[in-house]
Structure 1
Amino acid sequence: MAKRRRTVGTGTSTRRRRRRRDFRVLRWLLLLVVLVVGAGVWFVWPYWRLAGSLATETETLPSRLYARALRLEAGMQIDPDALVRRLEGCGYRPAPRDGLLPGTYRALPRQVAISQRRFPSPRGWTGGGLLVIDLAGDRIERLHDGTETLRTALLEPYLLASWYGPELRDRVPVPLDEIPRDLVQAVLAAEDDGFFEHPGLSLSGIARALWTNLRGGTVRQGGSTLTQQLVKNRFLSAERTLERKLREALLALFVELRYEKREILRIYLDSIFWGKPGPVNLMGVGAAARAYFDKPAAELDLAEAALLAGIIRAPAELSPYRRPEAALARRNQILDRLVALRWVASERAEAAKAAPLGVRATGYGQNRAPFFAAAVAAEARRRYGIESLADAGLILLSTLDEVEQAAAAAAVETGVADLAGRVGERGAPLQAALVALDPLTGGARAWVGGRDFRASQFDRVSQMRRQAGSTFKPVVYAAAFAGEVATPATLIADEPLLLELAGRQWSPKNDDGEFLGWISARTAVERSRNLPTVRLALEVGLPPIVDLARRLGVASPLSPVPALALGAFELSPLELATVYSVFASGGVRPPVHTLDGVLDGRGQPLAGTALPPPERVLSPEAAYLVTSLLEGVVAHGTGQRARQLGLTDPVAGKTGTTNQKRDAWFAGFAPGKVALAWVGYDDNRPTPFSGAAGALPVWTGFMLRTRPPGGYGQIAPPAGVVRRTIDPASGGLALPLCPQVIDEFFLASRAPTLGCPLHGGPRWAGDRLGAPPPEAEEGQGEPESGRFRRWLRRLFGGAAAPPQG
């Protein structure tokens, strides 16, 4: 019995020891499992979380600057050919025979039909749908959408510039449902035809790539799926190591677990690198379609889709610009692959193979108006508080007209090249500036701040200050007319003048060193005479002239000294253009600006500082009298070379030349347009050009290039201005014996009522500033040299050479 009890006790003890041992083993196994699982989670979790950030990671977008959208309305003049060029400049194409597709147009002799895309405007995104323009010659007869008549319509604006971050990445987001099926299939055929079947890794693809590389003896093909490419580009480096491939595979599996296939495809197409055909890197199909074909991705055809799909593998080696033959061969290879996969009919593929590459001219991403873009950035900072536009994703709607901007750039390039060719380029190059404004709104329509922005970013339109010369003289005459001190017929002495100024003598001279005696205010302006202008300024008073200049838009320092009348103070071209916009608008100063609005990334308008309303600073009558004088400058004064260059319309303008011809100016206008040109050297060296010889041809070139189909109209006089026929030698009403008569404009309150005292009228002083009554003999009081020249002209019937100013 005792022996049996020992046996039982021993067995129980053994079982207990075994249970304790098993429990310890189990505990260690559980601990090991926990450690393994924890280590796995610790290792895998960052990848899982990183994969989840794929869709939430924000891609930066550049800020984009657009030209103004052209507003159309019934009755307005329009050149049908220019309209088509404008559409094609925005990437619109002739419509196929089977109908109008978005981004296409059909031009008929009396009609242009456009299938518009959506585009940004100051109030948000607009456009889309059909726009039909019925034409009657060079005028719009009717606007409609195929059924209903439209009062106005907008045309899509040009993209002028973009502000990129340091990586110079351009991206245009495109929803997947707007990407053509042909492009999706072409990309899958080129990169991953089993995309919708595999879980993120393709064993068959890896095996196929391995076999290809073994046969070639080098790494010629990768086995990466589209998902692997995506995670590599978004999260990993480009190094070729086993560790990187393992991380890539793990991330690809997690991405496939966390996202639907369509979402992965969308992110891929929206972010993959598509080459660098210009100054920027193309990220995504939206930017690629714009860069290579100048169209949205939604409008790509099969041949274009295959070309883009083929580029992905090696954007540099397969660039259609650098290696068009290789790009063409790769495109056709993709088309064959589409046929082999039975995704595209062979007939369509063969037709696509016959198409040319069709890529646009290089230059995508380049700034079309760099000086203007810099001015826009400054205004955005001032009015909207935007410190940096780089990768800010903003849309800036500007006032610039792309047609006028191109005309301004061409006028500066050709005009200054011709001038520089005459003098030779020694040292710093001859420079120029041209700015055009809408005198009613103050919007800048063209802005060229120099010959080459890459060589010099100094903006001569807004940053430069130079003496204005004779282009300032109209301010003196405007002050005289506003104060009723003079009329266009007032006679002023063109005779020597000696002034005592702060103990020093100042004796202004005319450009030709001669004196014409008594001449009218009109003649003084048309022939740019200095002495009559100084005399008139002294009669008006210098402080009122300074005050008027301020109200006209001059912010630069001015002093009430006699030299002010001759433009001795420095102004910017933009200030001077603002002054002339007041004359062109009938006395109203518009708020000069470059921005009409800014949209945020969602297309919503941003709130900013509103522009001040237009302000009346000069009476319409005084503004018109100045305009009339300036029309005479171009018709038969210092600006008559514009006529010789082909501009025969009744435009108005004024030349300006500073001492030693350091600055050549011309400022002028027509209804709805003010433009100013300057030519000179940055270092203030003398030039051989007067305003008429240097700046006027540049200005005329711009005005001719932007001339409307029916020509420039004439500004009509306001109700308070009357026309009278007078003898210019006296300013009195013309009589039968007067040898020369002209029609002249007057304020109704200052119109002459007496006949010419030189040819039978009553003896009166005439309209002269501080002069004794004239004698009956014509030319009395005129210097001997002036009377001799007049006698020679009458004797030989010749005309005096046009004066320079």
Structure 2
Amino acid sequence: MAKRTTRRTSSKKDSKPASRRGSGHRTSRSKRRSSRRSRLGPVLAFTALVGLVALVGLGGYALHLDQQIRSQFEGKRWSLPARVFARPLEIYAGLDLDRETLEQELQWLHYHPGREGVGRYARERGHLILNTRGFPFADGYEPPRRVRVSFNDGHVTGLEDLESGDSLPLLRMEPALIANIYPSHGEDRLLVQLDDVPEELIRTLLTVEDRKFYEHRGLDPAGIARAALANLRAGRTVQGGSTLTQQLVKNYFLTQDRSWRRKFNEAIMALLLEWRYDKDEILEAYLNEVFLGQDGMRAIHGVGMASQFYFQRQLSELSTDEIALLVGIIRGPSYYDPRRRPERALERRNLVLTLLESEGHLEADQAREARQQPLNVSANPPSGVTPFPAFVQLLREQLRRDYRDADLQEEGLLIFTTLDPIKQLAAEEALVRRLARLEASRGLPEGSLQGAVVVTRPDNGEVLAVVGDRQVRQAGFNRALQARRPVGSVIKPMVYLAALSHPQRYSLATLLEDESFTVELDNGDLWTPRNASREFHGQVTAQESLVRSYNVATTRLGMDLGVTRVVEQMRRLGIRQDLPAYPSLLLGAVEMSPLEVTGLYQGLASGGYHVPLRAIREVMDREGQLLQRYALSLNKAADDKAVYLVTAALHEVTRSGTGRRLQSSLPPELAVAGKTGTTGEMRDAWFAGYSGDALAVVWVGRDDNQPMGLTGSSGALPVWSDVMQAVSHRGLVPSVPEGVTWRLIDQDTGLLAEEDCETAQWMPFIDGSAPTQRSECGVQTPPEEASQPGWLFGGGQ
């Protein structure tokens, strides 16, 4: 019993402390847990709060990036340079165009020899086979065609569409790109639509840069890991893990720095871009944004511009090896520059071709043949600087009337001009060659002479060519527009036009006194006009005075008429500057630019209309919608009969007057009318004149205004002759206006003459203005039996 009791007692004693220990331990653990919870609670709460804040912050930051994406990417409005095009060559049966000239035009359009593929041409027994490119003109799309152009004796004799076998009435070639007006940041791109990009280029791009483009959602973790492993093995960066979407984000939205912040933004924005936009939209944007080269200050962006920059061809014309090169240099346009580092570029291109072969996109023989091809890159990049700076300066002056500089630099306008590249090149060559010859023949310092040329169409005022410097590619002082020099005798036809507009007082047979006289000016000064020869000629007809360029007789005519009437006539023809009505104005003591002189003569060449000179035909927006058409503007500015008389006299200038040298330099069928001009001490030499299809004005002089020993006949006329031989194909054959008849006149007396009179010359008269008395010179023949002249001017020559 005692043992049991003791055992029980003992067990009771033992149980108490045990019970207390257990309770105490639980309390202690509970307290520790409670204490730990009490300490962890705020931490967890803070962590949760921080996480929530971070999540909200990340969401807010993502919303900020999303807003940035939408504001910049929506509509993808790149700042695009304005594209400036020459006139399109329009070919038709009967056109004055030989095969060699057409081939020259094709070279400007970057056509290449060959029979297959657009942008190619081939010779064929007096014909040319053309595979033309299509072009979206304002009045409709001109489709690509395969055409045979036939020639004979310097003319187009036929056009045959080789696809249909039908004859074509007209073939309009695409216009040559002659200039770009760049944004301030210097980026140059030619936008393309995804549908216009060859499938082969897209396939090559995705194979090389992003094989899973149509599978991932902006990021490719496997690609990143693969690139990291390859770079680790190589010890340098040999592979990129960025998707096309990431590359687009980096180029379009971000800078090129390599900070973690930029990489973080790139990843988030790539995800957002893929969430918001279709894959094809992203791919098209990438194709237009990707950087592919540098040309001085001009950055080449987009595959469309890169195709022009490296190959001078459209994307659709590129071969497999050329596409491989274009895609290959995306990885490093400077490192793989095919012009400066052709070995690297060739290796890179062949690596791309091998990759295409391994992926099954090329057959082995196709890849092998492509790898054997040269790079085919044009030797010199097509410059972003216009080859025709003088014309483009005129163009920009006219554009500023309707467009802001920002519009021209950012809106991607398509500007179609009047420039004829073949005539422009001919005018440049004529000026440069002749100035060098003049310096050599006259013993002048090499490079001392300068000059300017303006060529227009007589009927509509379109400016076909402008040369403002003998350094024709140099943009700087443009003498055609900015050199305001005394014009000398080229102004005299305006004096005679004003006088002959009063047929009741004046005709070409009116006798003028070519004898010395002195004029007292308004300020009391005395002025005495002198002839260039320092001789006087007594009584001369108005026609002889103009043909021989007599200063004294011309001054008498102008003062008898009234100098203000001459000024008024010039204003009606388009002169805007204030002209002082001084007697010396009648002899050209007024400064004008060659362009202003051209405007005056445009009124003569057009038959008496003020025809504003224009360098623009039309302007389209980047979408190809017509914004503005610069139509022909005509305003009657002079009596057409008086203009006809002046033109007849100016034709005689080129036959027997100060411009008679043209008789030996121009072909006999090219009848022209024109006038020389020489200023004091032979500081300026001018010639202005026109044919049936071209008007040209030439100035020759020195920038330091020193005498050069050249007259209009010896200095400017040779340049003008060379220009006209190249640009004109149709001589003057104007119709005689109603109310004008031709009469044979004795130049000594200004009276009607007979055919046997040695001093007789044919002259046109406005009805009622011809003399009625007859000269005693020659055999007397009744007036009605006198033969009538045919064209040329001054029939019976």
Shorter-chain TM band: 0.7 to 0.9
- The answer as to 2:106 corresponding to 1:90 is no
Judged with a 3 Å threshold, the aligned counterparts in structure 2 of structure 1 residues 75 and 749 are, in CA distance, closer, same or farther, namely: farther
Per the alignment, residue 512 of structure 2 pairs with 492
Per the alignment, residue 655 of structure 1 pairs with 676
Aligned equivalents of 1:576 and 1:530: distance in 2? Answer: 19
Residues 31-85 of structure 1: per-residue CA shift (max 9 Å, x gap): 5653453244245444555566674253211112222233445544333332333
Give the C-alpha shift of residue 471 in structure 1. 0.1
Residues 535-591 of structure 1: per-residue CA shift (max 9 Å, x gap): 222333322222212112222222333212211122232221111112111212212
- One of 372, 379, 382 as aligned partner of 1:363: 382
Residues 386-438 of structure 1: per-residue CA shift (max 9 Å, x gap): 66521232222222222222222333333334445567887995432211222
Counterparts of residues 636-655 of structure 1 (less than 5 Å): 636-646=656-666, 648=668, 649-655=670-676
* Secondary structure, aligned partner of 2:408: coil
Aligned equivalents of 2:70 and 2:511: distance in 1? Answer: 85
* Secondary structure, aligned partner of 1:492: strand
Per the alignment, residue 615 of structure 1 pairs with 635
- One of 131, 142, 145 as aligned partner of 1:130: 145
Work out whether residues 62 and 162 of structure 1, in 8 Å CA contact, stay in contact via their aligned partners in 2. yes
Judged with a 3 Å threshold, the aligned counterparts in structure 2 of structure 1 residues 541 and 47 are, in CA distance, closer, same or farther, namely: closer
Work out whether residues 277 and 319 of structure 1, in 8 Å CA contact, stay in contact via their aligned partners in 2. no
Counterparts of residues 514-533 of structure 1 (less than 5 Å): 514-533=535-554
Per the alignment, residue 603 of structure 1 pairs with 624
Work out whether residues 168 and 280 of structure 1, in 8 Å CA contact, stay in contact via their aligned partners in 2. yes
Judged with a 3 Å threshold, the aligned counterparts in structure 2 of structure 1 residues 449 and 425 are, in CA distance, closer, same or farther, namely: same
Residues 674-696 of structure 1: per-residue CA shift (max 9 Å, x gap): 11111223443332221122222
Per the alignment, residue 86 of structure 2 pairs with 67
* Secondary structure, aligned partner of 2:600: helix
Give the C-alpha shift of residue 112 in structure 1. 5.4
Per the alignment, residue 402 of structure 1 pairs with 421
Work out whether residues 182 and 301 of structure 1, in 8 Å CA contact, stay in contact via their aligned partners in 2. no
Per the alignment, residue 135 of structure 2 pairs with 119
- The answer as to 2:307 corresponding to 1:292 is no
Give the C-alpha shift of residue 286 in structure 1. 0.8
Per the alignment, residue 467 of structure 2 pairs with 448
- One of 505, 530, 534 as aligned partner of 1:513: 534
- One of 723, 738, 742 as aligned partner of 2:742: 723
Counterparts of residues 234-253 of structure 1 (less than 5 Å): 234-253=252-271
Aligned equivalents of 1:51 and 1:387: distance in 2? Answer: 24
Give the C-alpha shift of residue 657 in structure 1. 0.8
- One of 270, 273, 285 as aligned partner of 1:267: 285
Unpaired runs of at least 5, structure 1 = 1-6, 763-805
Per the alignment, residue 803 of structure 1 pairs with none
- The answer as to 2:333 corresponding to 1:333 is no
Residues 357-379 of structure 1: per-residue CA shift (max 9 Å, x gap): 33334333221322322322222
Over aligned residue pairs, what C-alpha RMSD do you find? 3.7
Per the alignment, residue 320 of structure 1 pairs with 338
Aligned equivalents of 1:53 and 1:385: distance in 2? Answer: 24
After TM superposition, the structure 1 stretch with the greater mean CA deviation from structure 2, 457-466 or 215-224, is 215-224
After TM superposition, the structure 1 stretch with the greater mean CA deviation from structure 2, 413-422 or 540-549, is 413-422
Per the alignment, residue 766 of structure 1 pairs with none
Work out whether residues 557 and 569 of structure 1, in 8 Å CA contact, stay in contact via their aligned partners in 2. no
Higher relative contact order (Cα pairs below 8 Å, separated by 6+ residues): 1
* TM-score using structure 2 length: 0.84
Judged with a 3 Å threshold, the aligned counterparts in structure 2 of structure 1 residues 129 and 119 are, in CA distance, closer, same or farther, namely: closer
| Aligned-partner residue type, residue 599 of structure 2 | T
**Aligned residues: percent identity?**
37
Aligned equivalents of 1:323 and 1:703: distance in 2? Answer: 46
Give the C-alpha shift of residue 272 in structure 1. 0.6
Per the alignment, residue 228 of structure 1 pairs with 246
Per the alignment, residue 281 of structure 1 pairs with 299
Aligned equivalents of 1:388 and 1:427: distance in 2? Answer: 43
Work out whether residues 434 and 675 of structure 1, in 8 Å CA contact, stay in contact via their aligned partners in 2. yes
Larger of the two Rg values belongs to structure:
2
Work out whether residues 683 and 705 of structure 2, in 8 Å CA contact, stay in contact via their aligned partners in 1. yes
Aligned equivalents of 1:176 and 1:742: distance in 2? Answer: 71
Give the C-alpha shift of residue 23 in structure 1. 9.9
Aligned equivalents of 1:278 and 1:39: distance in 2? Answer: 43
Work out whether residues 429 and 681 of structure 1, in 8 Å CA contact, stay in contact via their aligned partners in 2. yes
Judged with a 3 Å threshold, the aligned counterparts in structure 2 of structure 1 residues 421 and 231 are, in CA distance, closer, same or farther, namely: farther
- The answer as to 2:691 corresponding to 1:670 is yes
| Aligned-partner residue type, residue 187 of structure 1 | L
- The answer as to 2:648 corresponding to 1:632 is no
Give the C-alpha shift of residue 595 in structure 1. 2.1
Unpaired runs of at least 5, structure 2 = 1-22, 782-797
Aligned equivalents of 1:302 and 1:492: distance in 2? Answer: 78
Per the alignment, residue 587 of structure 2 pairs with 566
| Aligned-partner residue type, residue 298 of structure 1 | S
Give the C-alpha shift of residue 720 in structure 1. 3.1
Aligned equivalents of 1:453 and 1:25: distance in 2? Answer: 79
Counterparts of residues 340-379 of structure 1 (less than 5 Å): 340-360=358-378, 361-379=380-398
Aligned equivalents of 1:594 and 1:247: distance in 2? Answer: 48
Work out whether residues 384 and 607 of structure 1, in 8 Å CA contact, stay in contact via their aligned partners in 2. no
| Aligned-partner residue type, residue 403 of structure 1 | I
Work out whether residues 698 and 719 of structure 2, in 8 Å CA contact, stay in contact via their aligned partners in 1. yes
Work out whether residues 617 and 631 of structure 2, in 8 Å CA contact, stay in contact via their aligned partners in 1. no
Give the C-alpha shift of residue 24 in structure 1. 8.8
Aligned equivalents of 2:574 and 2:54: distance in 1? Answer: 78
* Secondary structure, aligned partner of 1:653: strand
| Aligned-partner residue type, residue 270 of structure 1 | N
Give the C-alpha shift of residue 442 in structure 1. 1.7
* Secondary structure, aligned partner of 1:564: helix
Aligned equivalents of 2:566 and 2:67: distance in 1? Answer: 72
| Aligned-partner residue type, residue 757 of structure 2 | C
| Aligned-partner residue type, residue 620 of structure 2 | L
Aligned equivalents of 2:713 and 2:204: distance in 1? Answer: 61
Per the alignment, residue 310 of structure 1 pairs with 328
Aligned equivalents of 1:701 and 1:359: distance in 2? Answer: 36
- The answer as to 2:688 corresponding to 1:693 is no
Residues 193-235 of structure 1: per-residue CA shift (max 9 Å, x gap): 4544555445565455445545554445544343332222223
Judged with a 3 Å threshold, the aligned counterparts in structure 2 of structure 1 residues 429 and 191 are, in CA distance, closer, same or farther, namely: farther
- The answer as to 2:765 corresponding to 1:749 is no
* Secondary structure, aligned partner of 1:474: helix
Give the C-alpha shift of residue 469 in structure 1. 0.3
| Aligned-partner residue type, residue 119 of structure 1 | F
Per the alignment, residue 793 of structure 1 pairs with none
Work out whether residues 556 and 570 of structure 1, in 8 Å CA contact, stay in contact via their aligned partners in 2. no
- The answer as to 2:201 corresponding to 1:186 is no
